């Protein structure tokens, strides 16, 4: 009887120790998994924040480069990237002289035509040094007497392309080569495209 009781106690103690050891191992494994998962989540969140920060720093640079190469859809060279330049005292736009001598490039209006009719001429100006200079040039041309609109089609690698709406009687070539404060040289006039070059 004593031996049986002793054996029962021994078995119970052994079972309790086994259960306790198993529970401890289970708890340790669970804690390790929890810690690993938490560390992985923390690392992923940190990496995502780093990537977002890098993207945010890169975005303004890309926008500025994009603005320097292309015009906005409404044809105006001004956009958010360039407004700061103008606000901080950009180049002054010279006022065109409305009393320019246009006799050497007088436009003959066909008999019966409306002298106030609006026509469009594509003007390509090479050698424009910088975006702010292109913007000033566009604004100056838009103020020329007889010009109703000077829409920018693009500015890239120093070449400014404008689509100018003006009265048919306006001698555009003569007006543009005699702008006050801006020196433009005539290059060619073919197929409705007036090619000029800006003097440095």
Q: Residue 159: its pLDDT value, please? A: 93
Distance CA 168, CA 120 (A): 9
If asked whether residues 98 and 185 sit together in one domain, one would say yes
Please report whether residue 74 resides in a domain: no
Q: Do 9 and 32 fall within a single domain?
A: yes
Classified as helix, coil or strand, 158 is coil
| Cα–Cα nearest to 98, from 134, 137, 140, 149 | 140
Q: Is residue 191 part of a domain?
A: yes
pLDDT in tens, 55-114: 777 655 555 455 545 444 445 555 433 444 444 444 444 444 444 444 445 555 555 567
Same domain? For 192 and 159 the reply is yes
My answer on whether 56 and 101 are in the same domain is: no
Q: Say what the pLDDT of residue 104 is.
A: 45
Q: Same structural domain for residues 55 and 100?
A: no
Domain presence at residue 193: yes
Q: How many domains does the chain have?
A: 2
Whether 177 and 94 share a structural domain: yes
- 94 inside domain: yes
CA distance 69 to 135: 13
Q: Are residues 51 and 96 in the same domain?
A: no
Q: Which domain holds residue 143?
A: 80-198
**Which strands form 184-190's sheet, in the order they lie side by side?**
147-156, 159-167, 118-126, 193-198, 184-190
Q: Measured in Å, how far apart are the chain's first and last C-alpha atoms?
A: 118
Asked which of 40, 69, 98 is the last residue of a domain, the reply is 69
Nearest to 149 by CA among 137, 158, 160, 139: 139
Task: State what percent of residues in the chain have pLDDT above 90.
Answer: 14
- Band (pLDDT 50/70/90 cuts) for residue 163 is very high
Question: Which pLDDT does position 200 carry in this prediction?
Answer: 59
- Residue 127 vs residues 6, 21, 33, 159: alpha-carbon distances, Å: 107, 85, 67, 6
Q: Does 84 fall in a domain? A: yes
């Amino acid at each position: 009887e004593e031996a049986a009781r002793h054996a029962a106690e021994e078995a119970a103690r052994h079972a309790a120790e086994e259960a306790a050891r198993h529970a401890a191992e289970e708890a340790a494994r669970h804690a390790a998994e929890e810690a690993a998962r938490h560390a992985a989540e923390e690392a992923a969140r940190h990496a995502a924040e780093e990537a977002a920060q890098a993207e945010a720093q890169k975005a303004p640079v890309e926008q500025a480069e994009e603005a320097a190469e292309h015009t906005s859809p409404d044809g105006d060279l001004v956009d958010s990237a360039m407004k700061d330049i103008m606000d901080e005292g950009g180049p002054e736009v010279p006022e065109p002289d409305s009393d320019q001598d246009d006799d050497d490039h007088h436009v003959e209006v066909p008999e019966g035509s409306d002298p106030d009719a609006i026509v469009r001429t594509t003007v390509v100006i090479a050698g424009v040094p910088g975006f702010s200079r292109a913007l000033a040039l566009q604004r100056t041309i838009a103020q020329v007497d007889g010009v109703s609109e000077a829409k920018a089609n693009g500015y890239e690698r120093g070449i400014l392309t404008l689509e100018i709406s003006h009265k048919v009687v306006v001698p555009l070539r003569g007006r543009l080569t005699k702008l006050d404060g801006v020196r433009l040289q005539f290059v060619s006039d073919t197929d409705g495209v007036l090619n000029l070059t800006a003097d440095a």
